[in-house]
Structure 1
Amino acid sequence: MTKLHNILILTCLLVTIPTLYGNILEDEEYWGKQAASFDEYWKKKEATAEKENERAYINDPFSFSGNVTDNITDLIISDEKAESNGRRNLAGKLANKRCMATNPIDRCWRCDKEWAKNRKKLADCVQGFGRNTVGGQKGSFYEVTSNLDDDMVNPAPGTLRHAVTRTAPLWIYFSRSMTIRLSEELIVASDKTIDGRGADIYIMNGAGFTLQFVKNVIIHGIKIFDINSGSGGLIRDSENHYGQRTQSDGDGISIFGSSHVWIDHVSMRNCKDGLIDAIMGSTAITISNCHFTDHNEVMLFGASDSYDGDKIMQITLLFNHFGKRLIQRMPRCRYGFFHVVNNDYTHWEMYAIGGSKHPTIISEGNRFTAPDDNNAKEVTKRTYATEQEWKNWQWRSIKDELVNGAYFRQSGPVLNNRPFTKKDMVSSRPGSYVVRLSRYAGALRCVEGNPC
């Protein structure tokens, strides 16, 4: 009996200790160190980014988010008509080749067998709050030919670090499959697309991506695994600047005071801090078609209860699969407006969606499959707030599918006269579509000459 008791205590500790660590971005001392490290160059970038973020903010996010669900409806209706005729009428379908596009974003580009020659078409396909993100569409192509990352100040041409620190817009792709271990955080400049299609690209066993005070970045078709903190030091962040950086936090992708960001078809697991964090007034972001596994605190949107600049944060989560061995924060939100639509939540251990400081969360057409643990059936978690406070937060579930005892605790005003129900098949019958819409989440295996 004593042995059983000790095993129970050890099990509880193993589950609890990771949550006690918390996210380093929520540590006020960390923010003090970051602010103190800004030189005049970074202060100027911060001021410019603040103006860009304000311009990216949408005054009526409810009307905008309704457009997303209408587009999904159009796809579903066309598919159902095709299926009722005994065939699949997929746009761009080739003879004897079945297109694997099952949602509106993928339908925009995946059925083109010449996708490798038409890479920049991808930038026309983003939906959600990040809809105006074009990445490096207006620039030249840049081919990454080396997986080395051994010079933080003067990276060699042909390396990923050299590519992302150029001043001009660039569409970055890879000459072959490769594994890249980032020695320090990869600081990505504005107007860049990182396009992993046609190669198997692993970013792993090193530092992650940092998007700080930038705009217009697309990250597509790569795998980000086993990310650790960087030790800091002199690191180049643009063609004309490098400077001293503090220790990086260990995020897979850290979005810091940035706007117009699209993360699509990325596979992520096991980062020291968050998989994707968006903080400090970042906005106009879409995260779509991604596959997440093996992590505790998956996403943090808004790092500090004391920073109300995140009121302009607007993020769409669309067609993602939250998979095996995830624990919590899918996402955890502060202040902003978050449209969580048609994602498949098949695993969590504590909760799926949480937040504090009055965020607006519209959960629409998702499938939530609760764990067998009777203490973890609730999808939602409000932190550091009494019911008297959070009952006014607008957290609405619009015809989500709730499986295995899952339940969503709603709050705030009911959505009346909002554009979510207009021809909206997903809202009325979401459970029968989520698996289809998110079926190809994660990095794809694209072969030149064939539909992806």
Structure 2
Amino acid sequence: MRMLFPTTCILPACIFFVSLSLSAAMNLTLPHQHPDPEAVVQDVHRRLNASLSRRLLSSSSSSCGTGNPIDDCWRCDPNWASNRQRLADCGIGFGQSALGGRDGRIYVVTDSSDLDVVNPKPGTLRFGAIQDEPLWIIFSADMLIRLKHELILNSFKTIDGRGHNIQITGNGCLTVQYISNIIIHNVHIHHCKPSGNTNIRSSPTHVGWRGRSDGDGISIFGASHIWVDHCSLSYCADGLIDAIMGSTAITISNSYFSHHDEVMLLGHDDKYAPDTGMQVTIAFNHFGEALVQRMPRCRRGYIHVVNNDFTAWEMYAIGGSANPTINSQGNRYTAPVDPNAKEVTKRVDTEENEWTDWNWRTEGDVMVNGAFFVPSGVGLSAQYSKASSIEPKSAGLINQLTMNAGVFGDPRDNSAGISYPGFAGGGTSTGSSTDGAVGAGGGSDGGEGDYFGMIFGSDAPPAHSSATSILLFLLIILVLYTSTNRGALLSLQLLTL
């Protein structure tokens, strides 16, 4: 007897099989993976060009406008503190859809203690972080929060340290596991140690046994829509930021990394296929002093490394295995003195005949002190052949875009140290005024009531002549109207200051 299937059953089946076919065709392995990563890359360039264009058109005496599209999005509002959730609309790259606690209540941390990880006290960071509802978490004062064990965040949370000096340290530090929509902004994370083998609450209704953590600063595990911005990370037992086990839709921006060996790991294991869908944007960061390797170290996935300043490494800057796509654009790589460590890139535990087809691109990168990037795959095409160097004045844009990297007001390499009270033996990181990062503002109000020490005066690049400004403006307009998905030129290449 012939069996008849009602159309109500056939239609869902068709949709299911068509969606499987489309996913296979697009190589989608994760539910939050973007189907066209190159479109996301071009959107980053579009936003950067637009922000730089606005800066050129603004008055040279303006107290706002660095050309950094994230910062200019919210810092130009003098009443930002009354509209903190505006920050959620300022993300770029793969993590730009991270909502954090936008549209939720403001939760104020008034208690820096972390005495009970099963029944956290109201007013503590842990109590706010585990709630089920969206929360925008801020702080009532400067705080040093010593975690008793790892702090397991719940979805739709923003940790917003703006306006205060917030330091998170201790056992475990921040864990972002199997959740989504997290924003971590303007906090110090340092001296994180392994801990665990205990019960820890992760929501108002769930307490679970946790094994021993690795001691990461921020551990991202099977999570999506994550944005880490303007954080300063150092001195942790394992990675400063690790993203593994199918995590995707991540942006790490405007942050300052220092004093660490294995800085950032992206990807769980060479054989873990879901990490093929990992997509991470790394933008406007400063990789500072006393770093060794993994900036980042990638397995599978698509990693966009754009407009960062790499001022130190001991082994290599960017490494990978298992055929990740590395798209390096408009970065400055300053090699160490060691003649054996000049190469930016490293294919980890892989023979050359295996990585020849890996798509590692370098475009518009500035190579300093003998640094060199070894491209492969599509990276060897003519499209990515103009990566040797840029005129010094154009390289100054990297200073401009990264000058506020890290927690606002922090010093940079070779200037006054960042004091971490109670941490002897390497508890002070030093920072560089030579990069124009501190200037007159420093870590105070600069004598003008500006908590963040914003620098747009004497430390800013010199003003251009009117003729030069007109030429630059025309070039920017040309970029905005003629760029294509494969042929858009980088801002650092066009804006020859």
TM range (shorter): 0.7 to 0.9
- Report the CA distance between 1:220 and its aligned residue: 0.3
Identical-pair percentage: 50
* Candidates 228, 236, 248, aligned match of 1:263: 228
Q: Distance in 2 between matches of 1:263 and 1:129?
A: 12
Check conservation: 2:149, 2:170, Cα contact below 8 A: no
- Report the CA distance between 1:435 and its aligned residue: 1.0
Q: Distance in 1 between matches of 2:49 and 2:391?
A: 9
Change (3 A) 1:314 1:301: same
Q: Secondary structure at the match of 2:117?
A: coil
Paired amino acid for 1:63: A
Change (3 A) 1:71 1:270: same
- Report the CA distance between 1:134 and its aligned residue: 1.0
Farther off after superposition, 223-232 or 389-398: 223-232
In structure 2, the residue matched to 1:311 is 276
Q: Note if 1:179 corresponds to 2:144.
A: yes
Check conservation: 1:101, 1:110, Cα contact below 8 A: no
Q: Distance in 2 between matches of 1:136 and 1:398?
A: 36
Q: Note if 1:359 corresponds to 2:324.
A: yes
In structure 2, the residue matched to 1:236 is 201
Q: Distance in 2 between matches of 1:410 and 1:103?
A: 27
Report 1:11-26 matches (<5 A): none
Per-residue CA distance 1:239-278 (angstroms, 9 max, x = gap): 1101110011100000000000000000000100000000
Q: Distance in 1 between matches of 2:267 and 2:336?
A: 27
Check conservation: 1:399, 1:428, Cα contact below 8 A: no
* Candidates 422, 433, 436, aligned match of 2:397: 433
* Candidates 72, 81, 84, aligned match of 2:48: 72
- Report the CA distance between 1:384 and its aligned residue: 1.4
Q: Note if 1:114 corresponds to 2:73.
A: no
- Report the CA distance between 1:124 and its aligned residue: 0.5
In structure 1, the residue matched to 2:260 is 295
Per-residue CA distance 1:212-261 (angstroms, 9 max, x = gap): 00000000010001110113300000111011100111000000000000
Check conservation: 1:101, 1:111, Cα contact below 8 A: no
Q: Note if 1:88 corresponds to 2:60.
A: yes
Farther off after superposition, 314-323 or 201-210: 201-210
Change (3 A) 1:340 1:427: farther
Report 1:26-425 matches (<5 A): 54-82=30-58, 87-88=59-60, 98-99=63-64, 101-414=66-379
Q: Distance in 2 between matches of 1:186 and 1:228?
A: 12
Change (3 A) 1:186 1:364: same
Paired amino acid for 1:61: P
Change (3 A) 1:419 1:390: closer
Q: Distance in 1 between matches of 2:46 and 2:382?
A: 15
- TM superposition score normalised by structure 1: 0.81
Check conservation: 1:260, 1:285, Cα contact below 8 A: yes
- Report the CA distance between 1:114 and its aligned residue: 1.0
Paired amino acid for 2:199: L
Q: Secondary structure at the match of 1:271?
A: coil
- Report the CA distance between 1:417 and its aligned residue: 10
- Report the CA distance between 1:420 and its aligned residue: 13
- Report the CA distance between 1:449 and its aligned residue: 8.2
Change (3 A) 1:302 1:398: same
Q: Distance in 2 between matches of 1:53 and 1:308?
A: 8
Gaps of 5+ in 1: 1-51
Change (3 A) 1:408 1:415: closer
Change (3 A) 1:235 1:175: same
Q: Distance in 2 between matches of 1:75 and 1:331?
A: 27
Paired amino acid for 1:431: A
- Report the CA distance between 1:62 and its aligned residue: 1.1
Farther off after superposition, 99-108 or 181-190: 99-108
Paired amino acid for 1:435: N
Q: Distance in 2 between matches of 1:434 and 1:196?
A: 25
Q: Report 1 or 2 for greater relative contact order, CA contacts < 8 Å, sequence distance ≥ 6.
A: 1
Per-residue CA distance 1:135-186 (angstroms, 9 max, x = gap): 0002111000001101011000000010000000000000111100001000
Q: Distance in 1 between matches of 2:232 and 2:259?
A: 11
- TM superposition score normalised by structure 2: 0.74
Paired amino acid for 1:198: G
Aligned residue pairs, count: 386
Q: Distance in 2 between matches of 1:419 and 1:402?
A: 15
Paired amino acid for 1:400: D
Paired amino acid for 1:55: P
- Report the CA distance between 1:77 and its aligned residue: 3.2
In structure 2, the residue matched to 1:26 is none
Q: Note if 1:444 corresponds to 2:408.
A: yes
Check conservation: 2:362, 2:384, Cα contact below 8 A: no
Change (3 A) 1:118 1:451: farther
- Report the CA distance between 1:79 and its aligned residue: 2.8
In structure 2, the residue matched to 1:11 is none
Q: Distance in 1 between matches of 2:393 and 2:324?
A: 26
Q: Distance in 1 between matches of 2:117 and 2:451?
A: 37
Q: Secondary structure at the match of 1:433?
A: helix
In structure 1, the residue matched to 2:463 is none
Paired amino acid for 2:54: S
Q: Secondary structure at the match of 1:255?
A: strand
Paired amino acid for 1:67: D
Check conservation: 2:30, 2:274, Cα contact below 8 A: no
Q: Distance in 2 between matches of 1:232 and 1:429?
A: 54
Q: Distance in 2 between matches of 1:288 and 1:372?
A: 27
Q: Secondary structure at the match of 2:119?
A: coil
